[in-house]
Amino acid sequence: MPFPVPPPAPPVSYSRHVAPIFALHCNGCHGDAGGLDLRAYADLMKGGNLGRVVTPGDPERSVLVHFLDGRRGEAQTMPQGGEPLTSDQLETIRRWIAEGARDDATPTRKYTFTVPKVHLARGKALRVYCRVNTESYLILTVHDSRNRLLLTETASIKSPKEQVDAGQPGDLIWWDVRSGTGWPKWINLELTIEYAAAEPQHTEFFAR
């Protein structure tokens, strides 16, 4: 009697499986700098200084994989300044590309905290603090009273801490916010926690 054939593995999700790898290991360099923006699917697929880095359906021709698996040499293996991706993480990215490198846009759990009506003095930095007790990707946004976006800053926290990270879970980390052209005296702060390894407990978010 033949053995039953196991069902095929479900397809890799960009939003649930691939984007968290980039957020916690790559976005610290490949966000506002590095010649390649990995923070959003559209920017990843657009490529960077070397042109397109993902060839849908063909991980072997995808430059992104070449930088991650070490074939371009130790000096160019990503992520720089941190541990190489695990074999499971690399296989997740390879499978996603082989399956067509699609954006599934599946909603992921986010946790949001706000500090409204914070005074921002001209010429003086406002230090914004947070403490999150689980591995995660953090997004700080600054808005005016009409909800106009003024500033976005990001950070990753994980253990062990690597060069791209702002800290480890439980560390107090901070950003310095300075008034830009046309900014009001009063601003609203928002912290979004994404790709959390567990539900954040006792999160601290404040400014001084």
The pLDDT tens digits of the residues spanning 25-70 come to 887 776 665 678 888 999 999 988 888 989 999 999 998 998 888 7
Residues 6+ apart with CB under 8 A from 5: none
How does pLDDT run across 138-174, given as a tens digit for each residue? Answer: 999 999 999 999 999 999 999 999 888 999 999 999 9
Residue 76 pLDDT class (50, 70, 90 cuts): low
- pLDDT number for residue 67: 84
Pairing, β 149-157 against β 136-143: antiparallel
* Confidence (pTM): 0.86
- Which CB contacts under 8 angstroms, 24+ apart, belong to 163-171? 163/28, 163/80, 163/81, 163/82, 164/25, 164/26, 164/27, 164/28, 164/29, 164/79, 164/81, 164/82, 165/28, 166/138, 169/132, 169/133, 169/134, 169/135, 169/136, 170/131, 170/132, 170/133, 171/131
Percent of the chain scored above 70 by pLDDT?
90
123 or 7, which is more confident? 123
Spatial distance between the Cα atoms of 21 and 7, rounded to a whole number of angstroms: 26
Decide if 154 contacts 74 (C-beta within 8 A): no
Supply the mean pLDDT for the chain. Answer: 89
pLDDT at 48: 83
What's the confidence (pLDDT) of residue 31? 66
CA distances from 170 to 133, 160, 208 (A): 4, 12, 19
What is the predicted pLDDT for the residue at 5? 62
Q: What value does the mean pLDDT take over residues 71-80?
A: 66
How many CB atoms are located within 10 Å of the residue 23 CB?
Answer: 21
Q: What is the pLDDT of residue 107?
A: 84
